[in-house]
């Protein structure tokens, strides 16, 4: 199909390049339009279902999807809309919260490594080890001398996973400050969304520029050939969903997962009665 790899190429963060988020339009839909988005998404989800079935059957490699974004960027919505394509058997979602005392008593990758997908599985991280250079950096939760070493540590950790058969793909959902304001307001106004809103979100919002700088450092320093970042313009949910589905499907497609042959030769013409 013409242009199938276009979004993957366009939205990739080329390793070792400096990312400036103010140069990326969070409302860009890269030539896609809302009218055909439904069909495009459906096609992407169908590809994903088929690919996951093969990956699960073959059970020799795993896929790790990392989702990051500022509050209200749409991490939960992406999981609901895109990962709904997967058979829940063979797929796991981990949402990383404020570390527990036990987690804090270990190194920061301890809780993450326990949740990486096993062979045949697709693991989805809603937030991830990147919080340890995002919220931790913005709030000075550990000294700079500690967090500044983590970019290289994370690259090495991800390389180790990749070397043992885990394909890693990382999505940064990029919304504008105004879009976040509208989404927070909607959470505040809608009783069905109150549970998502907390006053603390406003304190985080006040640190917008610090978060942008922290995300820029992440994208500039940790997009690697073995664990690339994609910046997804996420002001429009329909584009966000189709871009994530498309890039993820292309990524798994490259693995060419295929149904294994039977464990023992099947007798010809067997009729099972």
* Contact status: 136 vs ligand AMP (CB under 6 A): yes
Which one, 56 or 171, has the nearer CB to ligand AMP? 171
* Contact status: 183 vs ligand AMP (CB under 6 A): no
Binding region for ligand AMP (CB under 6 A) out of 24-32, 131-139, 185-193, 254-262? 131-139
* Contact status: 131 vs ligand AMP (CB under 6 A): yes
- Measured CA to CA in angstroms, residue 32 lies from 25, 26, 47, 185, 236 at distances of 14, 14, 19, 28, 11
* Contact status: 99 vs ligand AMP (CB under 6 A): yes
Nearest to 137 by CA among 217, 71, 64: 217
Binding region for ligand AMP (CB under 6 A) out of 61-69, 132-140, 219-227, 238-246? 132-140
Which one, 20 or 106, has the nearer CB to ligand AMP? 106
* Contact status: 138 vs ligand AMP (CB under 6 A): no
CA distance 9 to 250: 11
Which one, 56 or 108, has the nearer CB to ligand AMP? 108
Residue with smallest beta-carbon separation from ligand AMP? 131
* Contact status: 98 vs ligand AMP (CB under 6 A): yes
Which one, 40 or 132, has the nearer CB to ligand AMP? 132
Which one, 134 or 243, has the nearer CB to ligand AMP? 134
154-161: which pairs have CB atoms within 8 A and are 24 or more residues apart?
A: 154/129, 154/130, 154/222, 155/221, 155/222, 155/224, 155/227, 157/109, 157/112, 157/113, 157/129, 158/222, 158/224, 158/226, 158/227, 159/224, 159/226, 159/227, 161/64, 161/116, 161/227
Name the minimum Å distance from CB 115 to ligand AMP.
13
CA distance 137 to 147: 7
Residues that bind ligand AMP (CB under 6 A): 96-99, 127, 131-132, 135-136
């Amino acid at each position: 199909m013409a242009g199938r790899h276009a979004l993957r190429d366009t939205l990739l963060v080329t390793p070792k390049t400096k990312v400036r988020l103010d140069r990326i339009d969070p409302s860009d839909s890269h030539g896609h339009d809302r009218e055909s988005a439904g069909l495009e998404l459906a096609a992407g989800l169908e590809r994903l279902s088929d690919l996951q079935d093969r990956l699960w059957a073959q059970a020799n490699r795993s896929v790790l999807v990392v989702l990051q974004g500022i509050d209200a960027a749409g991490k939960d919505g992406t999981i609901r809309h895109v990962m709904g394509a997967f058979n829940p058997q063979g797929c796991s979602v981990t949402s990383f919260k404020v570390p527990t005392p036990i987690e804090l008593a270990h190194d920061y990758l301890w809780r993450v490594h326990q949740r990486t997908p096993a062979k045949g599985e697709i693991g989805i991280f809603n937030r991830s080890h990147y919080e340890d250079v995002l919220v931790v950096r913005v709030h000075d939760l550990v000294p700079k001398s500690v967090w500044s070493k983590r970019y290289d540590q994370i690259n090495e950790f991800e390389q180790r996973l990749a070397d043992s058969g885990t394909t890693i793909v990382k999505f940064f959902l990029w919304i504008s400050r105004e879009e976040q304001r509208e989404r927070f307001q909607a959470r505040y106004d809608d009783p069905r969304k109150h549970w998502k809103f907390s006053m603390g979100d406003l304190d985080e919002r006040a640190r917008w520029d610090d978060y942008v700088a922290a995300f820029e450092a992440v994208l500039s320093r940790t997009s690697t050939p073995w664990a690339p970042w994609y910046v997804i313009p996420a002001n429009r949910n329909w584009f966000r969903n189709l871009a994530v589905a498309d890039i993820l499907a292309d990524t798994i497609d490259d693995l060419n997962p295929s149904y294994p042959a039977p464990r023992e030769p099947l007798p010809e013409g067997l009729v099972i009665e």
